[in-house]
Amino acid sequence: MTTPLAPAIACSRMYNLSPRISEQWDRLFHWLSRRSDVDLEIIPHAAPAPLSELWARSDMGVVFMCGYPFSKLAAEERPVPLAAPVSLADWSKGQPVYASHIVVGRDASFDLADLPGLRWGWTVRDSQSGYNAPREFFAEIANEHSAPETVGPLLNPHGVIEAIRTNAIDVGAIDAYAFQLLELHEPDMLAPLRVIATTRPAPFPLLVAARQLPLETNDALQVALLDVHRSPDGRAILKSLGLAGFVRPDVTAYGQLPARAKAIDDALSGRW
């Protein structure tokens, strides 16, 4: 008799951007549960609950984690990397990478030359897409420009959108995959915005599982994730999420993010 696999949680918190988008993630999680024979409990862990609390759970089965905090953990403390998404968007170039869109108000007359002198918004300090990416972009365009006025934490893309809509900031950064999901399912949310630039790519946030789960459970979940694109119903779910599929994460790529963050700090010399 086959031993039942350990139950676990699934959470799309990082990309759980609206009820309509959540439905698509739930479809994926239900598919993964059936395919892997792992009983997945879908939880929202909605903002403002700290993501760090979610990532510390011993029952994580399929949970999105930003690559930057993942990279800062010692190897023996990291959750198990299961899979990295590959977006259908042009900016992915068919690779498991993402970027951030630098956004301003749709009716603002700003161009790239104006950006160093504007009010910048940021989400949280341990975010690659909402903090390191815009700082890196600023460092590349600012030269010796004085420190920008910054506003944060804005927590997530919704906070950036609202801050621009209410004129609390002039410019912010939104995870390009989050932007893609909103374009697919909630285009009205993006109505106040105009993309003025896109940052350098970085390794895509990855799906992770807890190290405390049995190896058999994590292996079954990983196999199911890597197989989604091979079935017609799986491909339909992926299309609704703007994804081509999932691939094995290149852990060494994430390991480069702390050095990249330090280079940003050095280039800005305390200006942000």
pLDDT value for 198: 98
Domain ranges (residues) in the chain: 8-93+203-258, 97-202
What is the fold, at CATH topology level, of the domain defined by 8-93+203-258? D-Maltodextrin-Binding Protein; domain 2 (3.40.190)
pTM over 0.85: yes
DSSP, residue by residue, 140-196? HHHTTPPPPEEE----SHHHHHHHHHTTS-SEEEEEHHHHHHHHHH-GGGGTTEEEE
Is the pLDDT assigned to residue 114 strictly greater than 50? yes
Q: What is the pLDDT of residues 123-177, one digit of tens each?
A: 999 999 999 999 999 999 998 778 999 999 999 999 999 999 999 999 999 999 9
Find how far residue 77's CA is from the centre of its chain: 21
Instruction: Give the mean model confidence (pLDDT) for residues 85-90.
Output: 98
pLDDT value for 1: 42
Query: How far is residue 221's CA from residue 131's CA, in Å, rounded to a whole number?
Result: 31
207, 84 Cβ separation under 8 angstroms: yes
Task: Classify 79 as helix, strand or coil.
Answer: coil
Torsion sign across C-alpha atoms 26, 72, 54, 39: positive
**What letter does residue 213 receive in the DSSP assignment?**
S
Query: How far is residue 82's CA from residue 105's CA, in Å, rounded to a whole number?
Result: 37
How many Cβ atoms are within 10 Å of 114's Cβ, its own excluded?
14
Is the pLDDT assigned to residue 262 strictly greater than 60? yes
pLDDT value for 55: 97
- DSSP element (H, E) containing 120: strand 119-121
Question: Parallel, antiparallel, or unpaired: how do β-strands 100-105 and 193-198 relate?
Answer: antiparallel
pLDDT value for 15: 97
Find how far residue 145's CA is from the centre of its chain: 29
pLDDT value for 204: 98
pLDDT value for 145: 78
Q: What is the pLDDT of residues 16-75, one digit of tens each?
A: 999 999 999 999 999 999 999 999 999 999 989 999 999 999 999 999 999 999 999 999
Task: Classify 268 as helix, strand or coil.
Answer: helix
Q: What is the pLDDT of residues 183-232, one digit of tens each?
A: 999 999 999 999 999 999 999 999 999 999 999 999 999 999 999 999 99
**What letter does residue 17 receive in the DSSP assignment?**
-
Task: State the architecture of 97-202 in CATH terms.
Answer: 3-Layer(aba) Sandwich (3.40)
Is the pLDDT assigned to residue 2 strictly greater than 60? no
210, 38 Cβ separation under 8 angstroms: no
Is the pLDDT assigned to residue 3 strictly greater than 70? no
Instruction: Give the mean model confidence (pLDDT) for residues 227-239.
Output: 98
Q: Where are the beta strands (DSSP E) in 3-117?
A: 8-11, 40-42, 60-65, 80-87, 97-98, 100-105
Q: What is the dihedral of CA 191, 18, 206, 259, to 10 degrees?
A: 50
